[in-house]
Amino acid sequence: MFGLTSSKALIEVGIALLIIAVILLVVVSPYSLQSTLSKSIKKAEVQMNKTTMKLLPNKTFSIYLSGARVLIYNSSYPLKIRFNNGKISQAQNGNVYAIATSKNGTLVFINNYTVPLYFSYAILSLSILPAYISFVASFFLGLMGAMVTIYGLIRRFRERKLKKRMQPPMSPPKA
């Protein structure tokens, strides 16, 4: 039986590390990200059902956000929104709007319509740490797997070269 330092074993270990890295990257990272987002969306739905607001014409409503947050709101019309007295972009899907912030600040909803608007909102803090960890782990495992495989191939090549040198020269055939 061969030891762990044989070239064949090194190549096998390197390939195993590469396979694990690919599984982490292709299966685990997307699953953990999807799981995190799914849980956040469910929390948002519960929050939105509890926080329905009525905003009268030319009135404002303010919310202070600390750190990286995503605010999702549901309204039949898009509201004008300011973040720290500046413009902020909104993503829209039907009547649902999303706003992402990366720092502390105040979001101000402004009703610039002539009718009262009803809207509900939810504030989420997304943690993508599990997906990030599996992505980084897959990168380093893939790097280690590639290095171990290359080292094993180099050792195998040298072993074969050394084996050929060590063989006695063939004697000429006897007639």
Which three-class secondary structure state does DSSP give residue 167?
A: coil
Question: How far from 103 is each of 14, 66, 174, CA to CA, in Å?
Answer: 42, 7, 88
Q: What is the mean pLDDT of residues 74-79?
A: 85
Q: How far apart are CA 160 and CA 167, in angstroms?
A: 11
pLDDT band of residue 5 (cuts 50, 70, 90) is low
Give kind and range of the element (H or E) at residue 154.
helix 129-166
Q: How far apart are CA 14 and CA 158, in angstroms?
A: 18
Same domain, residue pair 89 and 143: no
pLDDT score for 2 = 46
pLDDT score for 70 = 84
Q: Which domain holds residue 62?
A: 38-126
Which range (23-37, 50-64, 160-174) has the least confidence?
160-174
Q: How far apart are CA 157 and CA 160, in angstroms?
A: 5
Q: How far apart are CA 130 and CA 138, in angstroms?
A: 12
pLDDT band of residue 14 (cuts 50, 70, 90) is very high
Kindly state the tokens that stand for 23: 């599984």
Same domain, residue pair 122 and 139: no
Same domain, residue pair 111 and 77: yes
Task: Give the DSSP per-residue string, 71-83.
Answer: EEEEESSPPEEEE
Mean pLDDT of the chain: 84
Q: Is residue 97 pLDDT above 70, yes or no?
A: yes
User: For residues 130 and 18, which has the higher predicted lDDT (pLDDT)?
Assistant: 18
Q: How many domains does the chain have?
A: 2
